[in-house]
Amino acid sequence: MRPVCPALFLAAAALAQNAPYPVDVPAARIVKALDEPQNWLTYFGDYKGVRHRALNQVNTANVRNLRVDWIFQIPTTGRFETVPLVVDGVMFFTAQNGHAFSVDARSGRQLWHYQYKPTEGTADGLNRGLAILNDKLYMGTVDGHLVCLDSKNGQLLWNAEVASAKAGYSITLAPLAVKDKIIVGVGGGEFGIRGFIDGYDAKSGQRAWRLYTIPEKGEPGGDTWQADSWKRGGAPTWMTGTYDPDLDTVYWGVGNPGPDLYGQDRLGDNLYSCSVVALDPTTGRMKWHYQFSPHDTHDWDANETPMLLDLPWKGQMRKLLVQANRNAFFYVLDRTTGEFLMAKSYARQTWLKEFDAKGRPTPLPDTEPSEQGTRLCPGLAGGANWMAPSYNPDLQLFYVPYREQCDIYFSTPPKFVEGKAYWGTATRGVSDEKEWGVVKALDPLTGEGKWEFKFYHAGWGGTMSTTGGLVFAGDADGYLVALDAKSGQLLWKLQTGAEIATAPITYMVNGKQYVTIASGAALITLSLP
């Protein structure tokens, strides 16, 4: 018989005694998520989308000592884009191909595992995360369903079909829990869908409302679509929105029109594609919209984070919405009215001549895709994309990760077949130029750049800010880096072994701060020794 080590026995007993317990996250708690820096209660960490945490145990003086604490390997392949939730020592996250997990946030010990079985014939797909409300979790699926799980054990409670996978719809985003509703958007803008945003009753799974992001003929904005092109006009809603509880308004980005990259069959502004829409979370009624790229033919959607900031605009406090758009411009809007206040380029762009007073852009000549090819910046992937920005309220700096890449756009007319790719154009990179990635600090009131940090390749990793004076970001080569929030100086880096295509989070359990990032097929969590 082997002797038992007393120290190990006592440690195991203590771990069992302090094991995570069932969680409860009522809506009022999510409203005040920033008052719980030890937790991460929504996809963005809070309703405003600032991705900032008032934690400073890990800081500029000691971040060089950050090391791997635990690693959780997922049983699937593909791009790992999850952003975990952390509630009182329990972590919940998704993985590609329908997986959801709960683990002890201190050790990575698995508590439960759920796998969704998609409709037969549906391709595997990525997933960016969960929503939590009370004691239930909500996950979108690659075949267009919304499922509800018991947070204690991962048991399936209900399953609602949002849209048909056969028609090209999917859900890859993390849902947004607002009051008693679960709000979801759909992907599939490249498959001739008609985009929408849905609100579901959190308890029953019954659909409460639907807001189509393409109006029919006869509805406001319906005349911005040629003939019946609105029926297959795209305008997907594939990234999570933000919410202002004081205004009781949800803000959601809308994607590209279809056919993607070809506009001759859909002449007009193509509302509400490439827009941000403000809506009532109880009824789904649209309050206002602003369109960043009317009649888009370059795949410059507006699904990037609609971050909410309260700042003095020209001497007067304003409720602002800011977005680093895919078209390479940083925008400032009044989020109460939708009024355009400012736009300034943060990356290379060769398409814009000017904005008018209401923020409508006037493109330069010869910037449309063409048969012989048109070279244009930014490229197909943007500028910014789903990579999450962050904001440090102490320094009043907005940190945007983006891609520097120009493309050559070619134009050919497409043919619509339901459920098939509906692309009218091809692109290729500019062969005589290497792309690269950037994290840039901006003054959100002027759009002026304060510093930038360059990655070797253009990537898909987002950022996170802390009161420890740090900005964490990941890159396509697998590096997780910590930058000085004031200067952009590289303070620490870790080679995770695989591409990072999501944003890090930070949280605290039992007085210890952790940093977590998804990379390859692993969820990696770090802390100080």
> Do the Cβ atoms of 481 and 472 come closer than 8 Å?
yes
Kindly state the tokens that stand for 460: 């898909």
Which H helix or E strand runs over 310?
A: strand 307-313
301 part of the active site: no
Round the CA-based radius of gyration of the chain to a whole number and report it.
22
Look at residues 172, 55, 178 and name the one whose alpha carbon lies nearest to residue 125.
Answer: 172
pLDDT tens for the 529 residues of the chain, in order? 333 343 333 333 344 445 566 899 999 999 999 999 999 999 999 999 999 999 999 999 999 999 999 999 999 988 999 999 999 999 999 999 999 999 999 999 999 999 999 887 777 789 999 999 999 999 999 999 999 999 999 999 999 999 999 999 999 999 999 999 999 999 999 899 999 999 999 999 999 999 999 999 999 999 999 999 999 999 999 999 999 999 999 999 999 999 988 999 999 999 999 999 999 999 999 999 999 999 999 999 999 999 999 999 999 999 999 999 999 999 999 999 999 999 999 999 999 999 999 999 999 999 999 888 999 999 999 999 999 999 999 999 999 999 999 999 988 888 888 878 888 777 776 667 889 999 999 999 999 999 999 999 999 999 999 999 999 999 999 999 999 999 999 999 999 999 999 999 999 999 999 999 999 999 999 999 9
Q: Cβ distance 48 to 307 under 8 Å?
A: yes
At 174 the pLDDT is 98
Using the 8-state DSSP alphabet, how is residue 145 labeled?
E
Looking at the DSSP bridge assignments, the partners of residue 29 are none
- First CA to last CA distance, the chain: 34
Q: Token digits for 96? A: 């590609």
Q: How far apart are CA 255 and CA 529, in angstroms?
A: 44
Task: Encode burial over 46-80: b for 16+ CB neighbours within 10 A, e otherwise.
Answer: bbbbbbbbebeebbbeebeebeebbebebeeeeeb
Give the torsion sign (CA, 217, 222, 224, 228).
negative
Percent helix, strand and coil across the chain, each to the nearest 5: 5, 40, 55
> Using an 8 Å Cβ cutoff, are 165 and 187 in contact?
no
Tell me the pairing of strands 374-376 and 361-363.
Answer: unpaired
- Predicted model pTM: 0.95
pLDDT for 6: 39
C-alpha span between 350 and 364 (Å, rounded) = 8
In what order do the strands lie in the sheet containing 397-404? 390-392, 397-404, 436-442, 449-455
CA distance 35 to 171: 30
Among the listed residues 69, 143, 299, 407, the single catalytic one is 299
**Phi, psi angles (nearest 5°) of residue 147:** -115, 150
Which residues lie closer than 8 Å to 514 by C-beta, 6 or more apart? 69, 105, 506, 507, 508, 525, 526, 527
CA angle 285, 198, 204 (to 5 degrees): 115
Query: Alpha helix (H) ranges present in 22-105?
Result: 27-31
